[in-house]
Chain A
Amino acid sequence: MNRFSVSDKLLKSLNCFFILLDDGLKVKTANSKYSHIASLAFQPGTLFTNYFSEKYQEKLALAFASAQKEIDCVTVVTAPIELEKDIITIKWSVCCIRDEDETLQGMELLGIQSKLSPKESESDGESPKSLFENTSQPFFSFDLSGNLTNANKAFADLLSYTCEDLAGTSLLSYAIDTDVPALKSLAADALAGKSLEYKFGLLDKKGRKVAVKIVNTPRIENGTFVGVNAYVKKPSVKVQTEKPFSRDERRLNLILGRLKKILDSSLDMICAIDENGKFTYVSAACKEILGFSAKEFIGKSFLDYVHEEDAESSTSASINIKNGIGTTNFENRFYRKDGSIAHLVWSSKWEETDKRFYSIARDATEKKLSEANLIASEEKYKILFYHHSVPIYIYDTESLMFLEVNDAAIRQYGYTRDEFLTMNFKDILADEETDRDSDSLAQEDFPEQLPKELWIHKKKNGESFYAEISSNRIEYLGKQAKLVLSIDRTEQTIAEQELRKSNERITFLSQATFDAIWDWDLQTNKITWNEGVSKMFDLADPAEATKFNWWSSNLHPEDKERVEQKISYHLENLIPRWEDEYRMRAGNTYKYINDRGYIIFNEQNKPVRMIGAMQDLTERKSHEIMLQNLNNSLEKRATELAESNTELERFAYVASHDLQEPLRMVSSFLQLLEKRYKDKLDNKAHEYINYAVDGAERMKRLILDLLEYSRVNSSKAEVEEVDLNEVLNDLMVTYKNLLHETNGTIKAQTLPVIKGNKTQILQLFQNLVGNACKYRKNETPPVIDISYEEEQSFYKFAISDNGIGIDPRFFHKIFIIFQRLHNRDEYSGTGIGLAICKKIVDKHGGKIWVASTMGEGSTFYFTLPKSK
């Protein structure tokens, strides 16, 4: 079949059976796998099934039948082949070949050895079989074609297969599409002596993705590089959420029997180049990658397409390859048919027997482009980073050193970029923050986006500010780092703190006060209260007060209209301060309330809220009313008393005045009678007349004293400066005769000038000195001493005598009007004199009292204020 002729060499290098059968299941072509073992030559024209035992002939017949039922379907069957010394188990993939009319042309068979022969295992002395089989370390090896030549149980378990399942299959058939190129390069790397770690994904039996990390080493047998040994370093299983590809589908693409299909369907350009650099074979991908058809390449030198600048390097690379230095990832540029440039990445190998380069070229144009894009987008991020208006910096989470800062951070913190790059994150923390849990700065296991935090940061000039920090974990220059946005929230934070404090104050105040504090939302008509309202109005449920209606409906009917009008007036005329007094229902009574409020307006000057406090005035009001009543009655009584006093005084005055007239008549006519009828009256008549005249005389005295007593109050006494020494002189004149008669003396020190009514002060001294003279002891000349002491606000006077004295029992009685202590026969008197004295002293704002010892004398004390 000429369609395979081109790839004969490739087929020969395959480490598996590749057999084509005609429609009669006879061998048409077979590759030379195991051809060195004579008995294993599949001879053309022979019936394929004849090479197998009876039991497997049936099995194969079933597989063929099954393969014919479906188009483009692969059926797998295991059928061993008996060799001279042992039996090798081959796993066969069967696929039908059809022409354009879908008529069956034949079968395509791919046979892979599923188990190493014991002989081969023994010859591989490098790893004892039991150890290899039993180790928990997944281990496998594959040949240069990528077919698994060995796999231990741990590896099979990893992929949920048995070792038999895996034997002879291609490693590529388990790979995730994207990892196929990486896997392909494994062998080349191993050959080049690179023992590297690779990470890639494999699919297990159930289609789950298994991420593996493998380490490969070249496998050398008899000095020849035959494959790769690899072990899985870190297997892990992840459940793949996507629907897995079916195994059959995957295998289809890899069936070597469809080699051309595979070659052509490869996105990479697979080609064979002769020693002159001319293309002898190019896969279909060339059309896609370079725009040329495969035919256009054949016979042309690769140098015809290579970019001039890459010609030299490409030529030297080909020389290297020819000299046995395998090359992967060699890059050069090819011209496309349309003249544009394609970036190609080459893997190439020189096959000396064929005198051919076998090469794979991958189109890296897009990758190159995306790399360029990536660089451009990095550039964009850089611009965004450096010129962002928010301060941003990156620091190493291990050393805390700054790795990068943007311009805004430089402005905000005041350090230059160079300064920043020598500092660590703790250098910008305010002193009070240095002890703050800095673990969070370097923690390993937190999510990438960290919650916002508020820190106090310090600027270079020592000023501190509140920084709102948003952090992201990133990898920067190969280090674990944090990208931090630092927004200055100082104003906002301080405002918030003040608001919180003021709110606290209000809360405490509203708890402390007895007042009911309210907050009336004018838009919802709801009122919020403090606890005060429940106490003030004895509410069982404070919630009932939240409606505005509660307040208005509990106003006293007499106050309701007035109060509501006033509030409306304030709201309409934008007068914020409101105050009113009203009565409000509390249970069965009304309380007097003083209510003050403040209206809050919005930006449109519309009232939106009103806040205020109610004060319970009920108790104060009732006190006020009581006090008012008391005052009224007191005033009334005072008026009554004043009236009664005035009346009494007028009565006393008039009575004593008018009493004089008839008394004068009585006395006068009795005396006229005596005068005119002297001779006609006997002694007895004269005696009677005398008694009558004496009675009238005493009555006259009484009346005059009473008159004097009443005058102390009634006379509108003028207050003047009174020199008491003058008063004393007057006294001396008055008592001159009496003193002379009794041989008495008055001793006095120099007296002060006081303020008072002169007439009354004179009368006071006269009465007291008069008493001192009157109540003298018989046979003893009276000695009267007048003295005074000056106190801070008053003078204290003392008038003492050496008279008969007063029994202390009567001290309190002597100042009472008409109170007499002596028989009229002993000492005459009306009992008004001391009452007058007391009244005068009282009127001047002083006090009067007496001290006395019976038989030794008395001292009368009185005080007069210094000024009045």
Chain B
Amino acid sequence: MKDIHILLVEDNEGDIVLTKEALSDAKIKNKVSVAKDGEEAIRFVNAGLDDEDILPDLILLDINLPKVDGKEVLHYLKNNPLLKKIPVVMLTTSSSELDVVDSYNNYANCFITKPVDFNKFFEVVRMIEDFWITIVKLPTKD
């Protein structure tokens, strides 16, 4: 099976490390690319339109981002016909109801509040992996 390519859009170094650590325990081999703000994320996926090897299979998107925030990135992705099929899991420390509603209205595939507890965080990441990588049949890139 081919390696899964995951784009993690996150500005917090700690979370990047933790997420990577959690994914490293995953059953399926994966490749994690990191974009540290919204602009970088959009540049990354646009580049992937030309080279489909770069185009991620799953995007983990934090809401609070410098410059262009997570909601704007989501809006951009879901309004692009070529990009809107990529599943986007919103990850945030916020549990604001408004954020949740806004995200789903913009076609987010899933909204997950980052658990503060370390063990729970690991569990969440593993569940994401299980669900989106193992269980769900994603459309092929072609």
A692 CB to closest chain B CB, in angstroms? 12
Mask of B83-119 contacts with A, CB within 8 angstroms, 1/0: 0000000000110000000000000000000101111
* Closest partner residue, chain B, to A669 (CB atom): B14
Residues A661 and B118 in contact in the complex (CB < 8 Å), given A668-B18, A672-B18, A672-B21: no
B33 CB to closest chain A CB, in angstroms? 22
Residues A663 and B21 in contact in the complex (CB < 8 Å), given A668-B14, A668-B121, A669-B14: no
- CB contacts under 8 Å to B, within A652-682, are 657, 660-661, 663-665, 667-672, 675-676
Chain B residues whose CB sits within 8 angstroms of the CB of A669 once the complex forms: 14, 18
CB of A661 within 8 A of CB of B119, answer: no
**With an 8 A cutoff between CB atoms, is B12 at the interface?**
yes
Q: How far is the CA of A676 from the CA of B122 in the complex (A)?
A: 13
**With an 8 A cutoff between CB atoms, is A426 at the interface?**
no
Tally of A interface residues using CB under 8 Å: 15
CB of B21 within 8 A of CB of A664, answer: no
With beta carbons under 8 angstroms apart, the residue of B21, B116, B119 that contacts A700 is B116
CB of A664 within 8 A of CB of B116, answer: yes
Residues A660 and B116 in contact in the complex (CB < 8 Å), given A668-B121, A672-B21: yes
A729 CB to closest chain B CB, in angstroms? 22
With beta carbons under 8 angstroms apart, the residue of A665, A676, A700 that contacts B14 is A665
B16 CB to closest chain A CB, in angstroms? 11
Residue of A664, A670, A672, A700 ringed by the most chain B CB atoms within 10 A: A664
* Closest partner residue, chain A, to B94 (CB atom): A657
Chain B residues whose CB sits within 8 angstroms of the CB of A660 once the complex forms: 93, 116
CB of A661 within 8 A of CB of B12, answer: yes
- CB contacts under 8 Å to B, within A617-676, are 657, 660-661, 663-665, 667-672, 675-676
* Closest partner residue, chain B, to A660 (CB atom): B93
Q: How far is the CA of A676 from the CA of B21 in the complex (A)?
A: 10
Chain B residues whose CB sits within 8 angstroms of the CB of A667 once the complex forms: 116-118
Chain B residues whose CB sits within 8 angstroms of the CB of A700 once the complex forms: 116
CB of B93 within 8 A of CB of A661, answer: yes
Q: How far is the CA of A663 from the CA of B116 in the complex (A)?
A: 8
Chain B residues whose CB sits within 8 angstroms of the CB of A661 once the complex forms: 12, 93
Mask of A727-754 contacts with B, CB within 8 angstroms, 1/0: 0000000000000000000000000000
CB of A672 within 8 A of CB of B118, answer: yes
Q: How far is the CA of A559 from the CA of B119 in the complex (A)?
A: 83
B86 CB to closest chain A CB, in angstroms? 27
Chain B residues whose CB sits within 8 angstroms of the CB of A671 once the complex forms: 118-119
* Closest partner residue, chain A, to B117 (CB atom): A667
Chain B residues whose CB sits within 8 angstroms of the CB of A675 once the complex forms: 118
Chain B residues whose CB sits within 8 angstroms of the CB of A670 once the complex forms: 118
A694 CB to closest chain B CB, in angstroms? 13
Chain A residues whose CB sits within 8 angstroms of the CB of B93 once the complex forms: 660-661, 664
* Closest partner residue, chain B, to A663 (CB atom): B116
Residues A668 and B118 in contact in the complex (CB < 8 Å), given A660-B93, A661-B93: yes
A32 CB to closest chain B CB, in angstroms? 173
Q: How far is the CA of A675 from the CA of B24 in the complex (A)?
A: 14
Residue of B18, B93, B118 ringed by the most chain A CB atoms within 10 A: B118
Chain A residues whose CB sits within 8 angstroms of the CB of B119 once the complex forms: 671
Q: How far is the CA of A671 from the CA of B14 in the complex (A)?
A: 13
Q: How far is the CA of A672 from the CA of B116 in the complex (A)?
A: 13
Chain A residues whose CB sits within 8 angstroms of the CB of B121 once the complex forms: 668
Q: How far is the CA of A664 from the CA of B93 in the complex (A)?
A: 10
Chain A residues whose CB sits within 8 angstroms of the CB of B21 once the complex forms: 672, 676
Chain A residues whose CB sits within 8 angstroms of the CB of B18 once the complex forms: 668-669, 672
Q: How far is the CA of A660 from the CA of B94 in the complex (A)?
A: 10
B125 CB to closest chain A CB, in angstroms? 12
Chain A residues whose CB sits within 8 angstroms of the CB of B14 once the complex forms: 664-665, 668-669
Mask of B55-91 contacts with A, CB within 8 angstroms, 1/0: 0000000000000000000000000000000000000
Q: How far is the CA of A700 from the CA of B21 in the complex (A)?
A: 23
Q: How far is the CA of A672 from the CA of B19 in the complex (A)?
A: 11
Q: How far is the CA of A664 from the CA of B18 in the complex (A)?
A: 11
Q: How far is the CA of A311 from the CA of B142 in the complex (A)?
A: 184
A758 CB to closest chain B CB, in angstroms? 14
* Closest partner residue, chain A, to B119 (CB atom): A671
Q: How far is the CA of A675 from the CA of B119 in the complex (A)?
A: 10
* Closest partner residue, chain B, to A662 (CB atom): B14
A658 CB to closest chain B CB, in angstroms? 10
Q: How far is the CA of A667 from the CA of B119 in the complex (A)?
A: 10
Q: How far is the CA of A669 from the CA of B18 in the complex (A)?
A: 8
* Closest partner residue, chain A, to B122 (CB atom): A675
Q: How far is the CA of A675 from the CA of B114 in the complex (A)?
A: 19
A222 CB to closest chain B CB, in angstroms? 168
Q: How far is the CA of A667 from the CA of B117 in the complex (A)?
A: 7
Q: How far is the CA of A669 from the CA of B117 in the complex (A)?
A: 10
Chain B residues whose CB sits within 8 angstroms of the CB of A672 once the complex forms: 18, 21, 118
- CB contacts under 8 Å to B, within A112-166, are none
A residues with a Cβ closer than 8 A to B are 657, 660-661, 663-665, 667-672, 675-676, 700
In the complex, given contacts A661-B93, A664-B114, A671-B119, what are 16 additional A-B residue pairs having Cβ atoms less than 8 angstroms apart?
A657-B94, A660-B116, A661-B12, A664-B14, A664-B116, A667-B117, A667-B118, A668-B14, A668-B18, A668-B118, A669-B14, A671-B118, A672-B18, A672-B21, A672-B118, A700-B116
B residues with a Cβ closer than 8 A to A are 12, 14, 18, 21, 93-94, 114, 116-119, 121
**Sorted from nearest, which 9 A-B pairs have the closest CB atoms?**
A671-B118, A665-B14, A668-B118, A664-B116, A668-B18, A700-B116, A660-B93, A667-B118, A661-B93
Q: Pull 16 A–B residue pairs with CB atoms less than 8 Å apart, ordered by A.
A: A660-B93, A660-B116, A661-B12, A663-B116, A664-B93, A665-B14, A667-B116, A667-B118, A668-B18, A668-B118, A670-B118, A671-B119, A672-B21, A672-B118, A676-B21, A700-B116
